[in-house]
Amino acid sequence: MKMRFAISAAVVALALAILPAIGATAGPRTGTKTGGSKDSSAPAPATANPAQDENLHLEGEKRFRSNCSRCHAAPPKFAPRMMSTIVRHMRVRANITNEDMRLILRYMSE
């Protein structure tokens, strides 16, 4: 009986874990989030420091060129949400590091 309860709880937890994630993935663009945070489908937010923005841009471009062009011609920039999927795919396919992925995504979403 206890085992059945534990398995049921696991199934419920699995559903709880997957449903919000699917909602976040397929749901329409909602503008701002509760708490005033920015729309997460928008390009990576600019920092308050323009010099830092420029550094991040240059670093992102550098990581993009050194990682992506190792195999193929440079692709165009897509919408941020598409770019997020593409970069995640390339993270797996080409073993791109977490830091490189974030910088490339930021650069390609600008």
Partner 1 sequence: MICSFVLWPRKVAQAGLLGLIIVLAITVHAQEEAPKAIPILTGYTSYFTRVTAGQYQDVPAVTPLLLVPVGDKWLLEARGSYSDTFSKNAAGDYIGRNVYGLGYAQVDYITKYVTFTAGRFITPFNIYGERLAPSWIRALQVTPLTSPVISGSALGGMMRGGFSGTDKINFNYAFYFSSNNTHHLLATDRSSGGRVGFFLPGPRVEMGASFQQVLQADRPHSSGLYFVWQPNRAPLSLRSEYVRSSGTKGSGYWIESAYRLSQISYLRKLEMVGRGQQFFAASNLTRATVKKLGIFGKDARQADFGMNYYFRSDVRASASYGRQFILGNNANLWTVGMTYRFVMPLGPTGSRL
Shortest approach of partner 1 to residue 46 CB, angstroms?
14
> Residues 25 to 54: which contact partner 1 by CB under 8 A?
25-29, 37, 39-44
Residue 58 interacts with partner 1 (CB under 8 A): yes or no: no
When binding is defined by CB under 8 A, the residue of 54, 55, 58, 99 that contacts partner 1 is 99
Give the tokens for residue 9: 């709880």
What are the distances in angstroms from CA 89 to CA 66, 82, 101? 17, 11, 10
Q: Which two tokens stand for residue 43?
A: 């390009």
In eight-state DSSP terms, residue 96 is -
Which helix (H) or strand (E) segment is 25 a member of?
helix 2-26
Task: List residues near partner 1 by CB under 8 A.
Answer: 2-3, 6-7, 9-10, 13-14, 16-18, 20-22, 24-29, 37, 39-44, 62-63, 66, 69-86, 88-89, 91-100, 102, 105, 109
